[in-house]
Structure 1
Amino acid sequence: MVRKVMSEEKLKITIKTLYGFEKAVQQELQELGYHDPEILNRAVRITGAWRDVYYLNLYLRTGLVVLVELAAFSFKDKDDLYAQAKKINWVSLFDKGKTFAIKGAIFSDVFTNTQFPQLLIKDAIVDQFREQTGDRPNIDAKNPQVSIDVYISGKNCVLSLNTTGAPLYKRGYRTETGPAPLNEVAAAGLLYLSGWDRKSTFIDPMCGSGTLVIEAALLAAGIPANIERRHYAFKNLLNFDRELWEGIYEAAPKKPVKLDFSIIASDIDQIVVTKAKRNIRALPVSRCVQFVMGDFEDLKIPEGNGVLITNPPYGERMGEEIEALYARLGDWFKHELAGYECWVISSNEDALKSVALKPSRKMKIFNGSLECSFRNYSIYEGSKKKIQQEE
């Protein structure tokens, strides 16, 4: 579904993401009909209207939050920062009965304490409310109803509304996780970065709680990533257009679908396979994934081409040395996955060397706070076999 901009209002909209996934966000935005998205550091920027803000919060798979810029300005000192922040008409944005918080990133020699600029902006907001309404909104640092994003570099400041609230990886469908689960936004980003065509076999042989295969099924079926999510920060703003939002939500695809190719999820741990099944069962794609309990080496691989992405353990697994596990994985790719593009994400460089195949592509990305390598192994057949030992 391609969005339609119904309002002439032009907003600067910034989508924050994880390090290394900027191009995935750019690709996704282009697929959704947005032209010339601008890549920033851990973010991508477009222009649009409030309809787009609502639409993106529902549909985006690879973004963390959707920000709407309120003001961008230079300031001389702390007093000037306060004064500039107070010029924004905060009382027109949210009601004094809503809780709020200031969050963001500060890179400036003007302040020795990186929390101080946030306190100044908070004071500007509170003082404006007191002067204009006689009362003030309360702060809730953990779960604010309204979240203000601040970015300061040197003496330049950008203030934005976080229209999302809790990050978009909180889709609403995952009720159970296994150890070291893959973030939903990261999982969707890996799908985009892999180049999977969404028409051929997709396999995750170490599926854990199923994030990769669930995101793959939603993507292939065209079901919005956040179809089960109910809470967004934009609903707490004074300009919230309920009719507009409900129209966008009601128009979104929600009906159960059946795909004409296989999505296969396997894991040696019966408990996490059960969790994966529970996570997907309420979604329209519940019948799109084949779950198998067992070791990956026993998995029956469909003939033809396909894509495999997996997030194996980065440390010991059930007493097995991690290097031995990755070596088995590499052998399995070589002997059983002819015609497939195999991708592995891991933070363990030594273990990745144990795969003993030469990767055709490497990408530096982050899985949470862990710096990882996302590596592609193209597995060729017969005389085209070009598997090489990693030097």
Structure 2
Amino acid sequence: MAYSKQHTFIAKTLHNLEDVLAKELESLGAENIEVGRRAVSFIGDKALLYKANLRLRTALRILKPIHHFKANNPDALYEELVKFPWDSIMRVDQSFSIDTTVFSDNFTHSKYVGYRAKDALVDYWRSKEGKRPNVSLEAPDIYINIHIAQSEVTVSLDSSGESLHKRGYRDVQTDAPINEVLAAGILLKAGWDGSTDLLDPMCGSGTFLIEAALIARNIAPGIYRKGFAFEQWLDYDAKLFEELYNDDSEEVEFEHKIYGSDILPHAIRVSDSNVRRAGVQANVQLDIQAFQDRPSPSSPCLIVMNPPYGERLKLADPRELYAMIGERLKHNYPGCKAWIIAYKTEHFDGIGLKHNTRTELMNGSLECELRSYELFAGKHEDFKRKSRDEQPKDKRSERKARFAGKAMERRRFDERKSGERPKRKSDFRTDKTDNKREERTQSFGRNRQDDARGKKPFNRNERTDHKRLEKPEGRKGLWPSDRFNYTDTEGKVRRRKAPVHIIQTFKSEDK
């Protein structure tokens, strides 16, 4: 087949969603998957490229590298790009745009890099055809991406065009809606697979609801888009893409329900419009209702929430809002699991519940955090004890053995942190031995003070000349300091160096 040739592609994503994206690519059949910083590289053919744009939920765009070289300044960049055969990539009558990402000490201005790259491409076509292609910032035919890391330059074609988070189903929106890629990433991190009901009690524009329905029914999120950038490429296979686009053989039925509510009537109207546009209205139920007024669910469900942060949406009292959320979750949703994304630590402090996991995420320009909660009735200690009792015996013994070493290490660390010395074997003696040790220590200390007469005992220069104290009558064995003495081959009594107890210290690093 014409599309069997393998290429390396790069899928871009949001911070801390790389692991989710890698699993998605694996399920699509990608090979040589490598996780990077906000990106995952993989190998596949043209069909996989088309499927990645159609089906990936946590990818922002898919890049196809076409040229790699080294350059230490903008002029060297120009010289390399003007020699590249651009006629194998585009036609002279096609418009283009160049997006630049620069991490370099040699290139200090990313826009100037874009200008020089544009000049190189235009000059190439002028020398070849006597005319130049147009630059379009709004809707170009060809999207070019240039990435510079110090002197390493990678030129790629952007196969997606507009960011893939722009699904196409959101016609209208409320203030501060959550990014579709971020919403899908949170749902996949939460393990959402459509096997239970789902609730978003502060649904806003309905993004969580729609993404949850698409995941539960295994509907490709890219089918709502008007188009992709690869449709303008010279090697575009329209028949192949048409087959992949119309293939709904992997879609499944969803037997549960997705519930969304909001206290604002306008938000529910917006959600209803977007849900209908996505075609998942049969799976989603919307209500105008405050979270505190919602009844308890009839069965355990998954709860996802993106409450207002008080940044773009002003709040009269954020602490009161988050305290209400914690109180309702605790008393109204035992047996459920909740995943909440929020901006400030004080928000989670207001919730007042012990979280299971926490993950740093970026919601736009805000550094947020995602926390998960396993909800139960009663005290946390009782819940943990019950969970342990319900585990099989072999798993409990394995868990106990696994954490025994960690508990001992924590105790040692606490002792060192508080200034206490680590315990030695000599500290674990019988009462009879302890009494003898106490008598010996008191006697030794008294004689040592009498002989020293106020001077520091066992001065480093006086240690070898110090008169050895006689042992009390009836005593057997060595003094505490004598255990370091030994007799060499010549019959002389010598002294070993005392063992050194290495105490490991821990230093916290700022993130």
Q: Which residue of 2 aligns with 1:385?
A: 383
Q: Which residue among 349, 354, 372 is the counterpart of 2:345?
A: 349
Contact 1:15–1:64 under 8 Å retained in 2: yes
Separation in structure 2 between the aligned mates of residue 129 and residue 301 of structure 1, nearest angstrom: 67
In structure 1, the partner of 2:53 is 57
Q: Distance in 2 between matches of 1:251 and 1:121?
A: 39
Match of residue 259, structure 1, among 251, 254, 261:
254
How much has 1:88 moved relative to structure 2? 2.8
Q: Separation in 2 of the partners of 1:37 and 1:320?
A: 47
- SS of the equivalent of 1:104 reads strand
Give 1:1-391 correspondences, 5 Å limit: 7-252=3-248, 259-315=254-310, 320-381=316-377, 384-385=382-383
Give the CA deviation at 1:386. 5.4
Could you give the per-residue CA deviations for residues 10-47 of structure 1, whole angstroms, max 9, x where no partner exists?
21111111112111211222222334521111111111
Provide the C-alpha distance between the structure 2 equivalents of 1:86 and 1:64, rounded to a whole number of angstroms: 29
Q: Which has the larger radius of gyration?
A: 2
CA contact (8 A) 2:210 2:278 kept: no
Which residue identity lines up with residue 277 of structure 1 in the other structure? D
SS of 1:28's partner is: helix
**Alpha-carbon distance in structure 2 between the residues aligned to 1:318 and 1:13:** 42
Distance verdict in 2 for CA 1:32–1:6, change over 3 Å: farther
The answer to whether the Cα contact below 8 Å between 2:174 and 2:204 also exists between their aligned partners in 1 is: yes
- How many residues in Structure 1 have an aligned counterpart in Structure 2? 382
Deviation at 1:197, TM superposition (A): 3.1
One-letter amino acid matched to 1:48:
G
- Distance in 1 (CA, whole Å) between partners of 2:335 and 2:44 is 42
**Per-residue deviation at 1:168?**
0.7
Distance 1:309 1:81, change over 3 A: same
Whether the 8 Å contact between 1:308 and 1:340 is mirrored in structure 2 is: yes
TM-aligned CA deviation for residue 382 of structure 1: 5.2
Displacement, 1:233?
Answer: 0.8
Following the alignment from structure 1 to structure 2, what is the Cα–Cα distance between the partners of residues 136 and 166? Answer: 24
Deviating more after overlay: 127-136 vs 208-217: 127-136
CA distance in 2, matches of 1:23, 1:341: 21
Stretch deviating more after TM superposition (356-365 or 105-114): 105-114
User: Which amino acid is the alignment partner of residue 176 of structure 1?
Assistant: V
CA 1:212–1:192 in structure 2 vs 1: closer, same or farther (change >3 Å)? same
Give the aligned CA root-mean-square deviation in angstroms.
2.1
CA contact (8 A) 1:213 1:265 kept: yes
Distance 1:218 1:34 in 2: 22
Measured after TM superposition, the shift of residue 181 of structure 1 is 0.2
Counterpart CA distance in 2 for 1:355 and 1:106 is 41
Q: TM-score, normalised by structure 1?
A: 0.92
Q: How much has 1:258 moved relative to structure 2?
A: 5.1
Paired position in structure 1 for 2:484: none
1:329-352: CA deviations, max 9, x gaps? 001111111111111101122122
**Higher strand residue share:** 1
SS at match of 2:327: helix
C-alpha distance in 2, partners of 1:238/1:149? Answer: 17
Query: Per-residue deviation at 1:253?
Result: 5.4
Q: Return the alpha-carbon distance in structure 1 between the equivalents of residues 128 and 314 of structure 2.
A: 62
Q: Comparing 27-36 with 162-171, which one deviates more in the overlay?
A: 27-36
Report the AA paired with residue 200 of structure 2: D
For residues 232 and 146 of structure 1, what CA distance do their matches in structure 2 show?
Answer: 10
CA distance in 2 between counterparts of 1:342 and 1:213 reads 15
What's the TM-score, normalizing by structure 2? 0.71
Mapped to 1, the partners of 2:145 and 2:315 lie a distance apart of 45
SS of residue paired to 2:278: coil
Q: C-alpha distance in 2, partners of 1:21/1:88?
A: 34
One-letter amino acid matched to 2:170: R
Q: Percentage identity across aligned positions?
A: 35
Alpha-carbon distance in structure 2 between the residues aligned to 1:338 and 1:144: 52
Q: Give the deviation of 1:217 after TM superposition.
A: 0.1
8 A Cα contact 2:6 2:44, kept in partner: yes
What amino acid maps onto 2:228 in structure 1? Y
Q: Give, in whole Å, the separation in 1 of the partners of 2:375 and 2:230.
A: 46
Which consecutive unaligned segments of at least 5 residues does structure 1 have? none
Write the distance in 2 (CA, Å) between the matches of 1:93 and 1:304.
Answer: 56
> Distance in 2 between the 1:73 and 1:194 partners?
41
Deviations 1:276-322 (A, max 9, x none): 11101133322101111100122234333321111000018676411
